[in-house]
Amino acid sequence: MNDKELVRVAATIENALRQLRKGRYMRCTVQLSLCAGTMQNLIGDSRKLAAAVSRDWLAAAEYSCRGIGRQLNEIPFLTANLQSLLDRRHREMPHLSAIADELWALQEEFDDVAFNGDENALCVVTQPITLEDVYLGRFRIALFLHSLSELYQKVPYFVTAIDPHPAATDNAITHPHVSHDVVCEGDGAAAIKAALETGRLVDFFTMVRSILTTYNPDSPYVPLADWHGVPCYECVYIMDSEYSYYCSCCDNTVCDECSAVCAGCSEIICRTCAGTCEICERSLCPRCAKKKCSECESVCCESCLDDGLCSECREERQDNEEQETEDKQEAPAGQEAAVMGGRLVDGGQRAGTAYAAVQPDGVGQAPVLPGPIGQ
């Protein structure tokens, strides 16, 4: 920036900080008006209550009591908001010359400092950043001056990757502590706001750069160990290790879609290692898939086997046993007595040995009784 542009930017920043200070006083006025209005309503309800009691209007007295209760519930919330505004530490407004000095020092601290008139933003560009052998590239820190007056309502700056190397699982995360161009300030949030409120621009930009060049393993959006993601062995889908599974048989990493739970032992298995119960069609690991029906030798899970038989073979065996039982019960009643000349002998009992049997070759001949011929 040349001197003329630098002074113009300094004047814009000074005006934004003045609006920030004015906005604080305006919010105090609004909160005071809300508190005063609540107190006026409380006084009005108390008068109504007194009038209702004096006239024995008990229903009206109850209604007034409810209104007083509502007003009392609002008072702590309103007073707490007002107190937080009043307790905010008073900080001196920087003069135009002090802001101009900050801009000069900022150009000494960073190689790339520019003011973007279209965005009304003061911007710096960092050097390429590498954290734990993970290359993240350069970042642009843009302070939007029109948002500076709303410092305590919204974030007035954004951090954008110039040559993005985002996490494999989320393109919006360009840094372990940056998501959707917003920095996770952590414990540095209060210090960053204080630097902006007092016009200490160098401190602000260096603090943000410090967050970008430091890795906190306790609170990343995506850990650096998972920055490049974990591929699924089955479908090659890139996933976060937090949502990956390991096959208990081959130890390969698989995603949720490519993993299954063994119906026998509840172990996680991949699709390649998984077998299937031919009865219920649930997944089985190779160890549990060794169980088979003793009759048809189909692969079955333990819950589908009963005495070594699958449900189909068990039903078939039961049907055969029932048929055999029925056959045994029907056999005595179905036996026929011996037939003698087309009639039953002795009321259905088998003919005695005193009668001659029909000769095998005498088909159609009557039986020959013993005794002299011709008698």
Q: Which domain holds residue 168?
A: 96-212
Indicate whether 40 and 78 sit together in one domain. Answer: yes
Q: How many residues belong to the chain?
A: 375
Q: Tokens representing 2? A: 């040349």
Q: State the total domains in the chain.
A: 3
Choose between 349 and 49: higher pLDDT.
49
pLDDT above 90 (res 278): no
Q: Quick check: is 203 in a domain?
A: yes
- Beta bridge partners, 115, equal 122
Segment 111-160, tens digit of pLDDT: 999 999 899 999 999 999 999 999 999 999 999 998 888 888 889 999 99
Single residue among 304, 319, 354 that ends a domain in this structure:
304
- Burial (CB < 10 A; 0-12, 13-18, 19+), residue 67, is middle
- Burial (CB < 10 A; 0-12, 13-18, 19+), residue 125, is middle
Indicate whether 57 and 151 sit together in one domain. Answer: no
What are the C-alpha distances in Å from 269 to residues 229, 249, 258, 304? 21, 7, 9, 20
Greatest mean pLDDT among 82-96, 119-133, 298-312, 349-363: 119-133
Indicate whether 116 and 177 sit together in one domain. Answer: yes
Indicate whether 246 and 180 sit together in one domain. Answer: no
- 3-state SS, residue 299: strand
- Residue 375: pLDDT band (50, 70, 90) is very low
Indicate whether 83 and 100 sit together in one domain. Answer: no
Q: How many CA atoms lie within 13 A of 156 on its CB side?
A: 28
- Residue 345: pLDDT band (50, 70, 90) is very low
Q: Quick check: is 29 in a domain?
A: yes
The total of other beta-carbon atoms located within 10 Å of residue 357's CB is 12
Indicate whether 189 and 125 sit together in one domain. Answer: yes
> Is pTM beyond 0.85 here?
no
300 CA to centre of own chain: 34
Q: How many CA atoms lie within 13 A of 237 on its CB side?
A: 15
Q: Quick check: is 360 in a domain?
A: no
Indicate whether 107 and 168 sit together in one domain. Answer: yes
Average pLDDT, whole number, for the chain? Answer: 83
- Residue 332: pLDDT band (50, 70, 90) is low
Tell me what percent of the residues of the chain surpass a pLDDT of 90: 30
Strands (E), 39-172: 112-116, 121-125, 129-131, 134-137, 139-144, 157-161
Q: Tokens representing 87? A: 């307790």
- Nearest CA to 221 out of 159, 168, 179, 165 is that of 179
Q: Tokens representing 305? A: 């086997």
Segment 208-217, tens digit of pLDDT: 999 999 999 9
pLDDT above 50 (res 256): yes
pLDDT above 90 (res 161): yes
pLDDT of residue 128: 95
Segment 65-97, tens digit of pLDDT: 998 998 899 888 888 888 887 776 667 788 899
pLDDT of residue 303: 78
pLDDT of residue 209: 95
**Average pLDDT estimate for 320-326:** 75
Whole-number Å distance between alpha carbons of 324 and 83: 93
pLDDT of residue 92: 78
**Average pLDDT estimate for 48-63:** 91
The pairing of strands 129-131 and 182-183 is unpaired
pLDDT above 50 (res 350): no
Indicate whether 102 and 208 sit together in one domain. Answer: yes
pLDDT of residue 168: 85
- Residue 365: pLDDT band (50, 70, 90) is low
Single residue among 66, 87, 108 that ends a domain in this structure:
87
Indicate whether 100 and 77 sit together in one domain. Answer: no
Choice among 98-112, 140-154, 212-226, 235-249 with the minimum mean pLDDT: 235-249
Q: Quick check: is 124 in a domain?
A: yes
238: CB partners within 8 A, 6+ apart: 168, 169, 229, 230, 231, 232
- Beta bridge partners, 238, equal 231
pLDDT of residue 90: 67
- Nearest CA to 294 out of 304, 284, 285 is that of 304
Indicate whether 126 and 169 sit together in one domain. Answer: yes
pLDDT of residue 331: 59
pLDDT of residue 150: 86
Single residue among 30, 56, 87 that ends a domain in this structure:
87
Q: Quick check: is 150 in a domain?
A: yes
pLDDT of residue 166: 92
287: CB partners within 8 A, 6+ apart: 264, 265
Q: Quick check: is 374 in a domain?
A: no
pLDDT of residue 351: 43
pLDDT of residue 348: 47
Whole-number Å distance between alpha carbons of 180 and 158: 9
pLDDT above 60 (res 298): yes
Indicate whether 135 and 168 sit together in one domain. Answer: yes
Whole-number Å distance between alpha carbons of 232 and 252: 8
Q: Quick check: is 187 in a domain?
A: yes
DSSP 139-191: EEEEEEGGGGGGTTTS--EEEEESS---BTTBTTEEETTEETTEE--GGGHHH
Indicate whether 112 and 201 sit together in one domain. Answer: yes
Q: Tokens representing 361? A: 């070759």
Q: Quick check: is 182 in a domain?
A: yes
pLDDT above 50 (res 374): no
Choice among 157-171, 174-188, 229-243, 250-264 with the minimum mean pLDDT: 229-243
Whole-number Å distance between alpha carbons of 348 and 338: 8
pLDDT of residue 144: 94
Whole-number Å distance between alpha carbons of 104 and 84: 35
**Average pLDDT estimate for 255-280:** 86
pLDDT of residue 362: 52
